[in-house]
Amino acid sequence: MSKKRIAVLVSGGGTNLQALIDAQSRGELVNGELGAVIASNPDAYALERAKRAGIPGYVVARKSYGSSREMTRALVERLRELSIDLVVLAGFMTILTEEMVQAYPNAIINVHPALIPSFCGAGYYGLHVHERALEYGVKVSGATVHFVNEEPDGGPIILQRAVEILEGDTPEALQRRIMEQAEWKLLPQAVSLFCQDRLRVEGRTVRILEA
């Protein structure tokens, strides 16, 4: 089986990208290789992380295009040029149009910092997700890694992990704990499973096949 080429799409700090880079250097992205990092803004610190790891970095910025659709088309073209097999959205904050899902059906993975279907969908991103979870008073939150379909945060779930809310939690503290205990572990794990062809999508359910 030839190695799957992975592109990671980022907008900010890129700690999930770093988790993927670290997993790769430990040999834990079985049959996968990080081939490109694409940022939605040129100042994303994630680009610095890519550079340090020797991964080619690119910028595809929404403001360089007339519409989200045009931006998505440009992105798909770039992914094709780079022979990408798997697209990972790791804190990518720009909404893409359906051309992306059509070009990569069940081959786009997103990490979301809550237990979907709670605290997800339009307007739920980054720190806002944790603010809403604390406002609601839930006792557990967590992270979800899922395939991307046309519905925001609505695609088949690959992996989830719960994280407890603690007395006195702030959105920042909760965000950090969910990253450490869930996101940074689940995302590399899901990517590795994909690259080994061990994920089978059956309706809304993702079956994980034995190695």
Measured from the CB atom, the residue of 14 and 155 that comes closer to ligand GAR is: 14
Nearest approach in angstroms of CB 38 to ligand GAR is 13
Measured from the CB atom, the residue of 113 and 155 that comes closer to ligand GAR is: 113
Distance CA 131, CA 117 (A): 16
Name the residue number minimizing CB distance to ligand GAR: 91
Indicate the Cα dihedral angle 148, 81, 34, 55, nearest 10°. Answer: -130
Catalytic residue among 112, 128, 130, 146: 112
Measured from the CB atom, the residue of 1 and 122 that comes closer to ligand GAR is: 122
Nearest approach in angstroms of CB 14 to ligand GAR is 5
Is omega for the bond preceding 117 within 30 degrees of 0, making it cis? yes
Furthest-apart CA atoms within the chain: distance in Å: 49
Measured from the CB atom, the residue of 31 and 185 that comes closer to ligand GAR is: 185
Nearest approach in angstroms of CB 113 to ligand GAR is 4
**How many CA atoms lie less than 13 Å away from 95 in the CB half-sphere?**
13
Helix 127-136 vs helix 171-178: angle between axes, to the nearest 10 degrees?
Answer: 110
Nearest approach in angstroms of CB 50 to ligand GAR is 12
Place of tokens 């992996």: 159
| Contacting residues toward ligand GAR, per CB under 6 A | 10, 12-16, 90-91, 111-113, 125-126, 129, 179, 183
Concerning whether 112 is annotated as a catalytic residue, the answer is: yes
Nearest C-alpha neighbor of 104 from the set 128, 122, 126, 82: 82
Distance CA 186, CA 58 (A): 25
The catalytic site residues sit at 112
